[in-house]
A and B are shown apart, each in its own frame.
Chain A
Amino acid sequence: MEESKVLMVFGPLHITDTVLSTWGLMLVLTLFCVIFTRRLRCESPSKIQVLLESTVSLIENLIADILPGQARKLVPFIGTLWLFLVFANLLGLIPGLHSPTGNLSITAALAIVVFLSVHWYGIQHDGLKNYLRHYLSPTPLMLPFHLISEITRTLALAIRLFGNIASLEMAALLVLLVAGFLVPVPLLLLHVIEALVQAYIFGMLALVYIAGGIQSQQQHKDKREKSS
């Protein structure tokens, strides 16, 4: 639980190394995507185009498994989460840099974005009134439990990612202190696996929550149509 270093100060604004690495990562990813999607060709695509296309179609297939028919709408959000988190988690492996996701502020921000997007996609799909109605189903007695689950799962999303990445870095540091140079290398290999798994899980849970927001109304609508 170390404090992140303050690199620059602009008035009341303190720029820490976490902010800098996050923005740097965003810049690199955006520039990469912008530059390599400028000349897309149908015939004889370049190697990078094949790589990008297969990445996008992989993400689309994963989303379509959970939410068939809505995949196109969710690819931008979930795909961005996945790509950002994979590279953010792996950033800790570069000497001198820390994973931005090892900071609770970043993971909390991502979790809040997921929390808001659940409602955004839910309301977009079926309107405000019908969306709010699912909080009262099956009985209005369930309202407090729905609200508690909304809050705790957002909290869990943030704490899980932060705890995993921060503890991995800390474990590698402790082994380095106890055992010495080059001994934590196996732990760093574990870091690679854990980084990929945690990114997958964060995006997948976001997807499952959004799917829950959409599908709960779907069931509601089906029931109403049946009864009428």
Chain B
Amino acid sequence: MSPIELLTVVSTVAALIAIAIGVMFPAIAMGRAISQALDALARQPEAEKSIMRTLFIGLAMIESLAIYVLVIALIVLFRNPLIEYVLN
């Protein structure tokens, strides 16, 4: 296999594995956060406003982890900086 083919195969597989793992763990974390928030909401419905606000901010923080993985996967797929080394 020529180096450029190898790079294509490896970067595709790496991007797929990265996005699979990188989505799995934030999903678990988001599930836990939401279940805890619902717990707190059931116990103290009058605190709904602040619970929802904190939940949204926390979800955004967790979600940004998955977005980082997505951005890295996109860089690997479309703008791979290593491709210059292979071509030279």
Task: Let me know if A149 is at the binding interface, CB within 8 A.
Answer: no
User: Are A164 and B67 in touch, CB under 8 angstroms?
Assistant: yes
> Bound complex: CA of A163 vs CA of B71, how far in Å?
7
> Bound complex: CA of A209 vs CA of B62, how far in Å?
17
> Bound complex: CA of A208 vs CA of B57, how far in Å?
9
Chain B residues lying within 8 Å of A1, measured Cβ to Cβ, are 74-75, 78-79
Identify the stretch in A70-78, A197-205, A215-223 within 8 Å (CB) of chain B at 4 or more residues.
A197-205
Task: Let me know if A159 is at the binding interface, CB within 8 A.
Answer: yes
Within 8 A of A (CB), among B46-88: 49-50, 53, 56-57, 60-61, 63-64, 67-68, 70-71, 74-75, 78-79
Chain B residues lying within 8 Å of A66, measured Cβ to Cβ, are 53
Expressed in whole angstroms, the minimum distance between the Cβ of B8 and any Cβ of chain A is 17
Expressed in whole angstroms, the minimum distance between the Cβ of B60 and any Cβ of chain A is 4
Expressed in whole angstroms, the minimum distance between the Cβ of A139 and any Cβ of chain B is 26
Name B68's contact: one of A159, A201, A208 (CB within 8 Å).
Answer: A159
User: Are A204 and B53 in touch, CB under 8 angstroms?
Assistant: yes
Name A204's contact: one of B50, B56, B64 (CB within 8 Å).
Answer: B56
Name B60's contact: one of A160, A162, A167 (CB within 8 Å).
Answer: A160
User: Are B49 and A197 in touch, CB under 8 angstroms?
Assistant: no
User: Are A201 and B60 in touch, CB under 8 angstroms?
Assistant: yes
User: Are B70 and A160 in touch, CB under 8 angstroms?
Assistant: no
Chain A residues lying within 8 Å of B57, measured Cβ to Cβ, are 201, 204-205, 208
B interface majority secondary structure: helix
Within 8 A of B (CB), among A95-118: none
Expressed in whole angstroms, the minimum distance between the Cβ of A116 and any Cβ of chain B is 21
Name A159's contact: one of B50, B53, B71, B78 (CB within 8 Å).
Answer: B71
> Bound complex: CA of A69 vs CA of B68, how far in Å?
36
User: Are A65 and B53 in touch, CB under 8 angstroms?
Assistant: yes
Expressed in whole angstroms, the minimum distance between the Cβ of B14 and any Cβ of chain A is 17
Expressed in whole angstroms, the minimum distance between the Cβ of A26 and any Cβ of chain B is 25
Q: Which residue of A lies closest to B74 (CB)?
A: A1
Chain A residues lying within 8 Å of B53, measured Cβ to Cβ, are 65-66, 204
Task: Let me know if A177 is at the binding interface, CB within 8 A.
Answer: no
Expressed in whole angstroms, the minimum distance between the Cβ of B16 and any Cβ of chain A is 15
Expressed in whole angstroms, the minimum distance between the Cβ of B63 and any Cβ of chain A is 7
The 6 closest A-B CB pairs, nearest first, are A163-B67, A201-B60, A160-B64, A1-B78, A163-B71, A156-B64
Residues of B bordering A, CB below 8 Å:
49-50, 53, 56-57, 60-61, 63-64, 67-68, 70-71, 74-75, 78-79
Q: Could you jot down 10 A-B contacts, CB within 8 Å? A: A1-B74, A65-B49, A66-B53, A159-B71, A160-B63, A160-B64, A163-B64, A163-B71, A200-B56, A201-B57
